[in-house]
A and B are shown apart, each in its own frame.
Chain A
Amino acid sequence: MRRATHAKWAAGALAVALTATACGGGGGSGGGADGVLSSSWGDPQNPLEPANTNEVQGGKVLDMVFRGLKRYNPKNAKAENMLAEKIETTDSTNFTITVKNGWTFSNGEKVTAKSFVDAWNYGANLTNNQRNAYFFGQIDGYTAVHPDSGKPTATTLSGLKVTGPQTFTVKLSQKFSTWPDTLGYAAFAPLPSSFFKDHAGWLSKPVGNGPYTIDSYTKGSQMSLRKWDTYPGPDKAQNGGVDLKVYTDNNTAYTDLTAGNLDLVDDVPASQLKNAPADLGSRYINTPAGIIQTLAFPYYDKAWNTPDAQKVRTGLSMAINRKQITETIFQKTRTPATDWTSPVLGKDGGYQAGLCGKACDFDPAAAKKMIADGGGLPGGRIQLTYNADTGSHKDWIDAVCNSINNTLGNDRACVGRPIGTFADFRSQITQQKMPGPFRAGWQMDYPLIQNFLQPLYFTNASSNDGKWTNAEFDKLVNEANAESDTQTAIKKFQQAEGVVRDNMAAIPLWYQNGSAGYSERLSNVELNPFSVPVYNEIKVS
């Protein structure tokens, strides 16, 4: 009896093994305008709502499913009108917005002024827990719907008024001349009424007004987007759709690309950067993105908040061999930084190559002297804090420390201080527990010089993690925002950036590139300034 069962078991296992013939994944069906491409994806961290999505993976989907009042040109990052017919102001505080006629959501509902106002009110309201709520912070009445503590006293922003089917007015709480250019950000997308009526249903299958519609969405594994045939916009999808596949590891995605099972990887893993040009040839993309990496300092620590410490900071900046690190560790997917913004802004947008000057040039002798002039490193040595869970932060932090140690001729002058998870890293920063300089990265929300300066260096700004404060800088930023002429405003921001430089508020390290690779089936693949592929332009053969 018992023997018989054993035999059955063995036979069963054998049968299983035999059925395990190679069944390759394979791309989509056919090519041309109906060709579907597959692309790597990561599980979005937060629920997929426009005002609740603050990371790249969710942002990728919003970029395909939504179109807002403005859209950033994928090539030069300029904010161009999309749904906005016109945005008018005379005083940089009161804006009248006219929404173009003829736009609908993919469920047929018309996109009106109300679609925007309702969405923005929802996004700003504290009770909805939207992580991007602060984007509406400039609109009048924000503190009533989103108080710093306690319950909100209003459910709608008093600064928003629908004045006609396609027009609404916005009143800001202070002057902000470049505000219309921020409206390309996904948080400002319009929402259909189904979002409010059946919220859970909408979340499981979001409905928007962009060139793609969501065909199916299995959380944590795959989202299938298909071309919306009657999309009214000018930027119709050039392919039949995109299958976003969640990968447990971007190394596996890259392997799948080289094996021909995947069409597009928009984040080439650091360990493969060396092989990518050989593996993919011209199908490897490496273009600048609006991301800058810096070393921030804990100004709440007295040792770093002295006039002498400023010399030490400048000295440290000069002790870092940026060129060597970007070439050897990042395989030229980073460019040594010479200002505090990003090249994607362009000269007109406020980017100034070489603004940092000598302070960003590798000069061991001068660095040594500068640090000695400033009284040496606080406490004799510094710890660079970083999170070790994602990215290849350890590699470059060690390299930066090496560079500093070699300059100072002291093996123990600088050490890395790893923290296990990003969440813990962030929580130690918010609790102001940094014992020395720490890794800081900034990915722009919108391509404006304002976005590279104000959130990071303005007194008590949302991302001013080091708590740097400077009255001169604050004054210049306020003046720049009040300036009605954009070019003059940018000039003011550049002056403010000069203050950052003179104080070496943070050490600029390098500008980050977006890197991607794609299969032979695809053509016309590009990354936009946010390092997200411009999916609707991709052609499948």
Chain B
Amino acid sequence: MGRYVIRRLLQMIPVFIGATLLIFLMVNVMGDPIAGLCGERQCDPATAAQLRSEFGLDKPVWQQYLTYMGNVFTGDFGTAFNGQKVTELMATAFPITIRLTIVAIVFEIIIGITLGVLTGLRRGRPVDSGVLLLTLVVISVPTFVTGLIVQLLLGVKWNVISPSVSSAAPLGELIVPGLVLASVSLAYVTRLSRTSIAENTRSDYVRTAVAKGLPRHRVITRHLLRNSLIPVITFIGTDIGALMGGAIVTERIFNIHGVGYQLYQGILRQNTQTVVGFVTILVIIFLLANLLVDLLYAVLDPRIRYA
């Protein structure tokens, strides 16, 4: 197991370097960021040159990348255009987005798996068809539509929540945005666990467990659910990264100053340092979540062993 983990960690290095290089090149291809800094007018050439050298933009791209990576390993992610350290931006943005992601994941796990088990055990019944239809609707409606409607109804019409999240973004205010963010994945989790449960109810080990005379709840939780969760866990694991990066839409709608917002600003202002820095961290989170999922397999199904 330990060797497996080390091997996986080592595999991350090329993925990490490749991903950051790609992002670096993509942001650089978009053109000269200094041009946008002076508003509608052209920066005077001397100031532009000065700014360019301050941000290291006057060097060739490969050299910029090497310097950047060198700095990253010492924990220096550079400076954003407004003079703030990118690490400072991260320190404010990541806790908020992580909180939002946790809320979303918790919703996915609790609601998604519960509904999945419920419908999986009652295939073809009205509950099943009802939930299937509902998830279909959720999947087909884009997140920004769901978000705006929820915001309008709960925030403006019924005054249940505040339509915007305050800058501190406490957990309580993130419940509704978290639900919106989770909605699509939640529907997938429901459908995935439903199929998986429905398949496994007919398997030999479940029949054996029932024949042994085990109580129903024990059959379901210990035998049926444990085996059926593998695909679901895989999905949720990869979803962690997707949720954090994909929160751009939800964060904009609900005024959450998290990773999505910083990334959006960074892209708009073509701020290489911000974009690459945030994406770098997201890549790491994505890789670690995947590793965690793989390790969880062994816990769920002891037949899966890692040498």
Contact = CB atoms under 8 A, between A and B. Distances in A.
Partners in one complex: yes
B270 interface: yes
A463 B41 contact: yes
B268 A422 contact: yes
Interface string B107-138: 00010000000000000000000000000000
Contacts of B84: 219-220
A28 interface: no
Contacts of A253: 164, 255
Interface stretch (A43-51, A82-90, A400-408, A488-496): A43-51
Contact of B221 (A3, A45, A247): A3
Interface stretch (B68-76, B170-178, B200-208, B234-242): B170-178
Interface stretch (A128-136, A315-323, A473-481, A513-521): A128-136
Contacts of B43: 131
A23 B50 CA distance: 48
A252 B46 contact: no
Contacts of B173: 20, 23
A423 B40 contact: no
B172 A149 contact: no
A420 B30 contact: yes
A101 interface: no
A424 B155 CA distance: 37
Contacts, number: 187
Interface string B218-258: 00010000000000000000000000000000011111110
Interface in A190-226: 203, 218-222
Interface in B172-214: 172-173, 175
A158 B84 CA distance: 34
Which of the four size classes fits the interface of chain A?
35 or more
B31 A427 contact: yes
Interface stretch (A62-70, A254-262, A357-365, A378-386): A254-262
Given A23-B172, A252-B163, A259 B38 contact: no
A463 B44 CA distance: 10
Interface stretch (A10-18, A109-117, A527-535): A10-18
B77 interface: no
B273 to A, nearest CB: 14
B104 to A, nearest CB: 12
Interface in A434-452: 440-443
Contacts of A246: 167, 257
A29 interface: no
B152 A22 contact: no
A195 B161 CA distance: 42
Contacts of A262: 164
A79 B255 CA distance: 38
B270 A255 contact: no
Contacts of A129: 47, 50-51, 54
B24 interface: no
A390 B37 contact: no
Interface string A1-44: 00100000010010011011111110000000000000000011
Contact of A463 (B40, B151, B161, B252): B40
Contacts of A21: 172
Contacts of A455: 41
B49 interface: yes
A486 interface: no
A24 B159 contact: yes
B30 A423 contact: yes
A220 B47 contact: no
B160 interface: yes
A255 B151 contact: yes
Interface string B27-67: 00011111111111111111101110010000000000000
Contacts of A261: 162-164
A215 B300 CA distance: 54
Contacts of A441: 40
A121 to B, nearest CB: 16
Contacts of A46: 37, 81-83
B11 interface: no
A462 B39 CA distance: 12
A348 interface: no
Q: Which 8 A-B pairs have the closest CB atoms?
A: A423-B36, A221-B167, A427-B35, A426-B35, A427-B32, A423-B270, A424-B31, A47-B83
Interface of B: 30-47, 49-51, 54, 81-84, 88-89, 92, 103, 106, 110, 151-152, 155-156, 159-164, 166-167, 171-173, 175, 221, 251-257, 261, 264-265, 267-270
12 contacts: A16-B103, A25-B166, A46-B83, A131-B37, A146-B46, A247-B164, A248-B264, A252-B252, A252-B253, A255-B151, A426-B38, A426-B40
